[in-house]
Amino acid sequence: MVDHDCSWEVLSVGFGEIAVDETMDTLRSPAIEMALRLSLDEWEDRLERADAACADVQWRRHFGQTNGNELRRLEDARSVMLLDDHAGATLRRWESRPHDPLLARRVNLALRRLRWAEIESQQQVYELRNRIDQAVINYRPRTDGVAISRVERSEILRRHPDRNHRRDAWLAMGPLVDRIGDGVRQLMCRRQALAREQGYDGFAAWALDSFGLNHPWIEGFFGELRRRTDGPYRAWLAEKAENLALQDGLRPWDLALAAEGPTAAVKPGGRAQQRAMVVASPVIECAGERVAAAADRLSLTQDKLAHGLMGSHGGNQSDGVELDRTGGVPLTQP
């Protein structure tokens, strides 16, 4: 647990002692750059502790050890620091000016963080985001009318031999979409409005620009990634469908089972399973657990996971990658 030293919860962020004029010679003097460096040290240290405190509270919320009030207090204090006008104005004056390339990079990264905070640290945005997170934490999936934990659901998807039971476990996250739908729409609309106030086409364009990226680069990167990996991945899907004797191909609720390797489909309780578990690859085991845990933490819906796994671009159903809310199509063609 993080020791919540809240000394970072102050209005001043340490840039007040930096008095600079407009001449490049003054701005590049070692004494002035040292003052900036010390101010950045203090600011980054406070921000790191603020981020750690917020992350700790987020983690403890998953175990019911705290409530939203503590997180809101920490978010409020962090937003004051990130939205501080004086800090932003000082850093903007220093953009691209330090002679030291490392210091120039630190200023650039600090400005990116402040730019990101112009939307994400707005109170209405992070309160909506935290409300959605709490709904995800509180949600319990149900199979056969019985509430189960996320761990139990993951184990069903990874190991249960009954395909219908795996399908039910997969679709058990579906009702969560309806519960958080209104909140997600409000959050998206708010982000869109704030981004447009800053002169962007929308939140996506603003977010990419905040990280120094753009749509053509993103499309090119993922296009190349798909080109290099699509063939081997589809071959793997076809091989696993054959190994599991699935005539209609793999569906999303089969993926975790397939990733576990040949031991996963063995009926529970027999010696064959015990022997198989002894020789199972620990690397595959670890990878399967991490994928399942990441999917649960992100509360991926069946639509998102299917599109993410296959790198869907535009929802071409001829690729066999679309998945509807009631069951979907195979990830590989039969």
Instruction: Report phi then psi at 316, rounded to 5.
Output: -75, 110
Q: 237 and 198, same structural domain? A: yes
Specify whether the CB–CB gap between 29 and 99 falls below 8 A.
Answer: no
Q: Is the pTM of this model over 0.85?
A: no
Rounded distance between C-alpha atoms, residue 253 and residue 8, angstroms: 46
The two tokens of residue 64 are: 């019911």
Answer whether residue 130 is part of any domain: no
Answer whether residue 332 is part of any domain: no
Q: Is the pLDDT of residue 193 over 60?
A: yes
Answer whether residue 328 is part of any domain: no
Q: Is the pLDDT of residue 307 over 70?
A: no
Confidence of residue 4 (pLDDT cuts 50, 70, 90): very low
Q: 167 and 99, same structural domain? A: no
Confidence of residue 175 (pLDDT cuts 50, 70, 90): very high
Q: 165 and 74, same structural domain? A: no
Q: 152 and 100, same structural domain? A: no
Q: 109 and 29, same structural domain? A: yes
Q: 235 and 173, same structural domain? A: yes
Q: Is the pLDDT of residue 304 over 80?
A: no
Strands (E), the chain: 142-143, 146-147
Confidence of residue 15 (pLDDT cuts 50, 70, 90): low
Answer whether residue 129 is part of any domain: no
pLDDT score, position 283: 34
Q: 275 and 156, same structural domain? A: yes
Is the four-CA dihedral 206, 208, 214, 220 of positive or negative sign? negative
Q: Is the pLDDT of residue 12 over 80?
A: no
Q: 279 and 200, same structural domain? A: yes
Q: 227 and 87, same structural domain? A: no
Last residue within a domain, chosen from 89, 121, 153: 121
Specify whether the CB–CB gap between 93 and 18 falls below 8 A.
Answer: no
Q: 247 and 173, same structural domain? A: yes
Specify the number of domains making up the chain: 2
Answer whether residue 330 is part of any domain: no
Domain that holds residue 62: 12-121
Last residue within a domain, chosen from 92, 121, 150: 121
Q: 146 and 68, same structural domain? A: no
Q: 91 and 41, same structural domain? A: yes
